[in-house]
Structure formats: structure tokens, C-alpha cells
């Protein structure tokens, strides 16, 4: 298990691989990728990490559980 303080940065790195609305990633897909990279997390933890990134002005948008 990796440091959960690094979770927002790991999510940011994953989301950069899905750069446009043509290639959205679902919450289960995001959680599976995080799990495979040693960041086990639940939906609430992922949303909290995304909100942290948004507070730092990262332009992360989502609709119906896709980012």
C-alpha cells in the first residue's frame, strides 16, 4: 500500500492519460487502475482526492461518474 497523501497526484497522472471527452474514465476503471498501482481506495476517497485537485485549480470535470 502506498502513501495515501500521494493519491491526488496519482489520480492526476491517470487522468492525464484520458485527455478529452472522447476518452472518459469511469469510477470503477479509475479505482481498478489505482488498485493495480498500489493505491487501494473507495469511491469517497477518490472523490475527496479529486476535490483536492480542483481546489488547486486543476480543471477536472465529471458527469455521471466519469472523469
pLDDT value at residue 36: 95
Q: Residues 1-57: pLDDT tens digits? A: 566 789 999 999 999 887 666 778 889 999 999 999 999 889 999 999 999 999 999
Assess contact for 15 and 67: CB atoms under 8 A: yes
Residue in 39, 37, 35 with CA at minimum distance from that of residue 3: 39
Three-state secondary structure of 16-57: CCCCCCCCCCEHHHHHHHHHHCCCCCCHHHHHHHHHHHHHCC
Looking at residue 65, what DSSP letter applies? T
Amino acid at each position: 500500500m502506498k502513501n495515501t497523501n500521494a493519491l491526488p497526484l496519482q489520480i492526476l497522472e491517470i487522468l492525464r492519460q484520458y485527455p478529452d471527452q472522447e476518452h472518459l474514465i469511469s469510477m470503477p476503471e479509475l479505482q481498478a487502475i489505482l488498485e493495480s498501482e498500489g493505491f487501494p481506495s473507495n469511491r469517497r476517497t477518490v472523490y475527496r482526492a479529486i476535490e483536492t485537485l480542483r481546489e488547486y485549480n486543476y480543471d477536472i470535470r465529471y458527469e455521471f461518474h466519469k472523469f
